[in-house]
A and B are shown apart, each in its own frame.
Chain A
Amino acid sequence: MSATMPEPAQPFDDLAQQHEAAQLGMWAFLATEILFFGVLFTGYTVMRVLWPDAFVAGSRHTDLPLGAIETGVLLTSSFTAAWALQAVKRSRPREAGWLLLFTATMGVAFLGIHGAEYRHDDLAGVIPGIRYDEVGDDAPHEALFFVLYYVTTGFHALHVLIGVGLLCVLARLAFRGDFLPGNHAPLEVGTLYWHLVDIVWIFVFPLYYQVGRA
């Protein structure tokens, strides 16, 4: 056992302590992320109260079916990420590797679909600052909706992109056999991050795609 167990990093006495630190660090990081996105969601709330009609008009432009597919893709990926962790805990590292690669692929798929959506928006002329063809009384306030939409989904996409890189690294480690049932802190931390990406989207989807469409 001890021959295959890696040494803990320098500040730690043992792996359990290192594990605890890694997890706490990730939870703390996720707390900062929630506040980071919290600004956007607060901004959304305030603007929506100020200009309800414009926000309803804006949300008509987002692509509900595509948004639903994206939601499905992310939820699936979150599921397979969790499954990968279980696989490692049951000493099946190769299975975990494949699951992580699949998760990363879903991430890429998400980015692809989102890219298509952006392309669509560009053609429709609803990107304030680049091409904005909306007219009418609500048009300027509708622009506020779009600004928030692009900033939120943009930052979210950035997180997905980082997550995809992270998942690929984790997959490589899994195939190399670095993760053992009792020693998989990086994997745990990585999947935790991926779940956050998913959770943020769970807020984005209803706010920007579903509101006012019933």
Chain B
Amino acid sequence: MHRAEPSYLTEGSTLASWLTTHDHKRIAILYAVAITFFFFLGGIAAALIRLELATPHGDLMSADTYNKTFTFHGVVMVWFFLIPSIPNTLGNFLLPLMIGARDVAFPRLNLFSWYLYLLGGLFTVTCLLLGGVDTGWTFYTPFSTLFSNTHVVLAVVGVFIVGFSSILTGLNFIVTIHTLRTKGMTWFRLPLFVWSMYGVSLVMMLATPVLAMTLSLLAIERLTGVGIFDPSLGGDPLLFQHFFWFYSHPAVYIMVLPSMGVVSELITASVRRKIFGYRFMVYSIIGIAVVGFLVWGHHMFVAGQSMYASIVFSILSFIIAVPSAIKVFNWTATLYKGDITFGAPMIYALGFVGLFMLGGLTGLFLAATALDVNLTDTYFVVAHFHYIMVGGAVMAYLGGIHFWWPKITGRLYSEGWARFAAILMFLGFNLTFFPQFLAGAEGMPRRYYRYPDEYALLNVLSSAGAVLLAASYLLPVGYLLWSLRFGERAGPDPWGAKGLEWETASPPPPHNFERPPVVTDGPYAYVHP
């Protein structure tokens, strides 16, 4: 038997040693476990939704239950999966390693954020057990304050708490990147994943407080019957929408910036070439983070804002496509004439690029005011955001998990199964969501539990795709867990990748490096130019 080196995993094996740890790597694992749980919880709701929509009649659940199901699905997927997934798992694990630090700047605060996440989750699950909420994940007033007789306050408190968890994580990352870079790790030597964590942390820190206060006002309004969103008192429900989207549009970038960071790492490592246009990649991350704050109004073209506001928001929304396009061009240029290895991480990364592009291009349809008036609140929108969020963010998350799995666990998984799952996910995804573009373009509205017969074919296709998609989410759970016990040992750098995280043992020792590394070169120092 090979005796394992002392690592962060062997540092203590009791449950208490995990629940009180200050090690960023262990906290990353705690997050991974909790987030996976919520992902499957949200997934069950998705399955129920698709099952209901497999036939045109409302034969599985009532309209009321359907509303609660898609609300729960949306709330869980957005706040308990998409927003924390990459930053809190991969980010927590990799950020200190990639900059050559021993830990994040505030390790206790890091653990505290995890407990906040759990507490928020507890509220949300309690809310579900007591009967759920039917407002949709956007909690629009005045429905949420005056009319809904479900557990709005409980749900809102859950989201409020989990919001603080992400504020604190963002703050921790920002301070870590500013103060704990090792000798020689200048700003323009940071890996793009670290830059993306920087961008996302800024957005989390500056957008989430707005959501927190807005939801507080909503709760106060609901509890006391007086408030500034209540139109019967002269309050302004549109103000709620402005505040909500001031957070929630940037939140979309909270979901996609980290994915872009991951994909950049996966692509260079699989092509074994420097990333093309490193500096432009950095500027585009910052550009997305900043412009992301200026486009929220495109969610309100039909809500009654002034035409001039709509025009401005429309133009700004087109502008934000530019930095995203730069990223896609640079990834493509990196691939050009490269010597590509199609491992599972690469398949996920390419899947991301394709789906993100389709999601992004359809976003331009929606940013054009004239088209949006037709498409808003149809399945076209549902397809659009699933392409970005599920096709984009979930693909990148899984790609990242596969890429860094040997580093995190010290084991290799079965390549064959992993490639199979990645391809299945791409196919299943397109079968699920592409028909929704068509249904939406033909006018099928969202948030209805039954529909006219003529949409039946498209919906059956979509539900069938969801089965494949579900299988492709379950498969990795199987072979990854299998690898923990039976997988081959990985060694420090199984992919021959560059970056400080590959220079230490797999799994890394408790304090990351035997002695602090010194950086003398830019990132991605592969031999090929």
A151: interface (CB < 8 Å): yes
A11: interface (CB < 8 Å): yes
Beta-carbon contacts of A26-57 to B below 8 Å, as 1s and 0s? Answer: 00110111011111101100110011001000
From A10, A12, A50, B236 is in contact (CB under 8 Å) with A50
B233: interface (CB < 8 Å): yes
B119-127, B204-212, B391-399 - the one binding chain A: B204-212
Give chain A residues whose Cβ lies under 8 Å from the Cβ of B107: 10-11
Q: Is the CB of B175 within 8 A of A11?
A: no
Distance (whole angstroms) from the CB of B505 to the closest CB of chain A: 19
Which parts of B172-209 form the interface with A (CB within 8 Å)?
172, 174-176, 178-180, 205-209
A173: interface (CB < 8 Å): no
Give chain B residues whose Cβ lies under 8 Å from the Cβ of A21: 105-106, 175, 178-180
Q: Is the CB of A129 within 8 A of B174?
A: no
Give chain A residues whose Cβ lies under 8 Å from the Cβ of B516: 13
Q: Is the CB of B226 within 8 A of A25?
A: no
Total interface residues on B, CB under 8 Å, equals 44
Q: Is the CB of A25 within 8 A of B217?
A: no
B13: interface (CB < 8 Å): no
Q: Is the CB of A32 within 8 A of B208?
A: yes
- Bound complex: CA of A54 vs CA of B212, how far in Å? 27
B235: interface (CB < 8 Å): yes
Q: Is the CB of B217 within 8 A of A144?
A: no
Q: Is the CB of B167 within 8 A of A32?
A: yes
Known: A32-B167, A36-B209. A10 touches B22 (CB 8 A): yes
- Bound complex: CA of A132 vs CA of B180, how far in Å? 54
Chain B residue with minimal CB distance to A148? B228
In the complex, which of the residues A17, A20, A130, A143 has the most CB atoms of chain B within 10 Å of its own CB atom?
A143
Q: Is the CB of A140 within 8 A of B233?
A: yes
In the complex, which of the residues A12, A21, A33, A140 has the most CB atoms of chain B within 10 Å of its own CB atom?
A21
Give chain B residues whose Cβ lies under 8 Å from the Cβ of A129: 223-226
Distance (whole angstroms) from the CB of A7 to the closest CB of chain B: 14
Q: Is the CB of A11 within 8 A of B213?
A: no
Known: A11-B102, A129-B225. A24 touches B206 (CB 8 A): no
In the complex, which of the residues A20, A29, A36, A54 has the most CB atoms of chain B within 10 Å of its own CB atom?
A36
Q: Is the CB of B175 within 8 A of A28?
A: yes
B85: interface (CB < 8 Å): no
Q: Is the CB of B175 within 8 A of A24?
A: yes
Give chain B residues whose Cβ lies under 8 Å from the Cβ of A28: 171, 174-175, 205
A128: interface (CB < 8 Å): yes
Q: Is the CB of A39 within 8 A of B217?
A: yes
Q: Is the CB of B206 within 8 A of A10?
A: no
Q: Is the CB of A32 within 8 A of B217?
A: no
Q: Is the CB of A17 within 8 A of B228?
A: no
Chain A residue with minimal CB distance to B183? A13
Q: Is the CB of A47 within 8 A of B236?
A: yes
A87: interface (CB < 8 Å): no
A168: interface (CB < 8 Å): no
Give chain B residues whose Cβ lies under 8 Å from the Cβ of A10: 22, 102-103, 107
Q: Is the CB of A20 within 8 A of B179?
A: yes
From A35, A46, A143, B206 is in contact (CB under 8 Å) with A35
Give chain B residues whose Cβ lies under 8 Å from the Cβ of A29: 171
- Bound complex: CA of A24 vs CA of B107, how far in Å? 15
Give chain B residues whose Cβ lies under 8 Å from the Cβ of A42: 243
Distance (whole angstroms) from the CB of B56 to the closest CB of chain A: 43
B227: interface (CB < 8 Å): yes
Known: A11-B102, A25-B105, A128-B226. A38 touches B220 (CB 8 A): no
- Bound complex: CA of A51 vs CA of B236, how far in Å? 11
- Bound complex: CA of A43 vs CA of B228, how far in Å? 8
- Bound complex: CA of A50 vs CA of B236, how far in Å? 9
Which parts of B213-244 form the interface with A (CB within 8 Å)?
213-214, 216-217, 220-221, 223-228, 233-236, 239, 243
- Bound complex: CA of A21 vs CA of B333, how far in Å? 38
Q: Is the CB of B101 within 8 A of A144?
A: no
From B22, B205, B213, A31 is in contact (CB under 8 Å) with B205
Give chain B residues whose Cβ lies under 8 Å from the Cβ of A46: 236, 239
Distance (whole angstroms) from the CB of A144 to the closest CB of chain B: 5
Give chain B residues whose Cβ lies under 8 Å from the Cβ of A35: 206-207, 209-210
Q: Is the CB of B209 within 8 A of A47?
A: no
- Bound complex: CA of A17 vs CA of B105, how far in Å? 10
Kindly list 14 other residue pairs between chains A and B, CB separation below 8 angstroms, not including A25-B106, A35-B206, A39-B214: A11-B176, A11-B180, A12-B105, A21-B178, A24-B175, A29-B171, A38-B209, A128-B224, A129-B225, A141-B233, A144-B226, A144-B234, A147-B224, A147-B227
Q: Can you list 8 contacts pairing A with B, beta carbon distance less than 8 Å? A: A11-B180, A35-B209, A38-B210, A39-B210, A47-B236, A128-B226, A141-B234, A148-B228
**Complex A-B, nearest 7 residue pairs according to Cβ-Cβ distance, in ascending order:** A129-B224, A39-B213, A36-B209, A128-B226, A11-B103, A35-B209, A21-B179
